[in-house]
Structure 1
Amino acid sequence: MPLDPDAFRHHPGLAGMIQDPETSFFRGFLPADMDDRMRELGRPADWRRTDAEREANRHEALAGRLDRDLWVFAYGSLMWDPALMFSEVLRATAEGYHRGMVLYDTGGARGSPEAPGLMAGLVPGGQCEGVAFRVPAAIVDRETEILWRREMIAHAYIPRFLPARTVLGEIEVLAFTADPTAQMIRLDLSREETVHCIATGEGVIGTSFAYLENTLAHFHALKIEDPDLEALMAEVQRARAA
């Protein structure tokens, strides 16, 4: 079922920038698909949550919310490839957390042991600009099962509900925040290490550079200003050129 064009009524310019969920890699992705890859990298058998653990986490996080519309906050790759069926998308500013390039990837989507990559996580303090997707109540159970298979495959994020400001007023959004106790979350990287990882990181679905590039492309389409991320991109481009 293709997305209703009316879903982009607030931001028509995003219509050609968000991948059709039905064609997304993540739509049919199963965590077990990564087991062979992780064994090759020498990871232990318990590198990921079991299906039962992941589903228990989902039901705990969404207790009392599976029968109502759900707003999902996107601040990284979810902005251009949500893999979710949605009926509305809004620019949103989540409160209490800011975006940090803190997800250290050595064996997943955009990194390897030889070329670690970095992706974004939400870190306490401040605010974060992004978009919110409204998932209709009738499909929340199915769509969040897909979402959890993607975001909660291993220990990196904690799902939380945060207040967010939009042109329609304040809404409550589901956001995946960085788990400071997780090995994949690195809050101690120097600027030099951060730049190097984004400039060189590459995994099974792409590069860390493309991740940052796509994030900024969506900011430009939404007229979101993020001087810090723009400055980071400039440093990464210089590193790649060198």
Structure 2
Amino acid sequence: MTNPSTLPDFDHPPGTDLWVFAYGSLMWNPGFPFVEKREGLLRGYHRGFCIYSHQHRGTPERPGAVLGLDRGGACRGMVFRVEAAAVPDVLRYLWQREMAYRVYIPRRLRVRTDQGDVRALTFTADPAHSQYCGRLGLDGTASLIRQGVGQSGRNVDYLSSLIDHLAELGIEDQGLRELAARI
């Protein structure tokens, strides 16, 4: 298990509550206890299929793509407040879930909410990682999603499910709609 205190760009003060920003499946399936949930807007990053998937939504021979937060734009999502006592366990869980391939960079970023800004743990795509595919453009990404099938299913189904879940939460992501139109 990775020790969260040794990870780069993570400086959570011990004994304090933790905010976590969710932009994908963490929004509807966080998998950890929280005491508060808010809608939030993260500026400077957008939700996109910018990570090659060689296992869950593709294979090494026919990769798919999964979500990441990529630089530029803005992203509507959810922030969850975790009580201080639960933070160590939640961090261990999040590192297992999000950091297995080290394709994300954990950061504390400002997220705007109607109740005020919070600084939240956020997992952003690492553009230097070999699995980063954020420079493929819309057609290249659409091609990956069309071909991708992995142990978690078809990549096309993942995109469709994501759009449906976002709609249920009242979040319209025009970039994902444009991507789906190319498939």
Normalised TM-score (structure 2): 0.89
| Deviation digits for residues 163-219 of structure 1 (CA, Å, limit 9, x no counterpart) | 111121211111101111100111221432211221231222233223222321232
The answer to whether the 8 A contact 1:91-1:222 is kept is no
Residues 204/165 of structure 1: CA separation in 2 closer, same or farther (3 Å cut) = same
Query: Where does residue 171 of structure 1 map in the other structure?
Result: 118
The structure with more strand, counted as a fraction of residues: 2
Please, which runs of 5 or more residues in structure 2 have no aligned partner?
A: none
Q: Is 1:78 the equivalent of 2:26?
A: yes
Structure 1 stretches of 4+ moved >6 Å: none
Structure 1 vs Structure 2 CA RMSD: 2.0
Normalised TM-score (structure 1): 0.69
| SS in structure 1 of the partner of residue 181 of structure 2 | helix
Please, which runs of 5 or more residues in structure 1 have no aligned partner?
A: 1-50, 237-242
Bigger radius of gyration, 1 or 2? 1
Residues 207/71 of structure 1: CA separation in 2 closer, same or farther (3 Å cut) = farther
Q: Is 1:69 the equivalent of 2:5?
A: no
Inter-partner Cα distance in structure 1 for 2:144 and 2:12: 40
| SS in structure 1 of the partner of residue 161 of structure 2 | helix
Aligned residue pairs: how many?
183
**What one-letter code is carried by the residue in structure 1 that aligns with 2:129?**
A
Query: Where does residue 91 of structure 2 map in the other structure?
Result: 144
Inter-partner Cα distance in structure 1 for 2:14 and 2:161: 31
Inter-partner Cα distance in structure 1 for 2:92 and 2:114: 29
Identity of aligned residues (%): 40
| SS in structure 2 of the partner of residue 183 of structure 1 | coil
Query: Where does residue 43 of structure 1 map in the other structure?
Result: none
Alignment match of 1:185 (pick from 129, 132, 151):
132
Inter-partner Cα distance in structure 2 for 1:64 and 1:130: 21
**Bigger relative contact order, structure 1 or 2 (CA pairs below 8 A, ≥6 apart):** 2
The structure with more helix, counted as a fraction of residues: 1
**What one-letter code is carried by the residue in structure 1 that aligns with 2:161?**
N
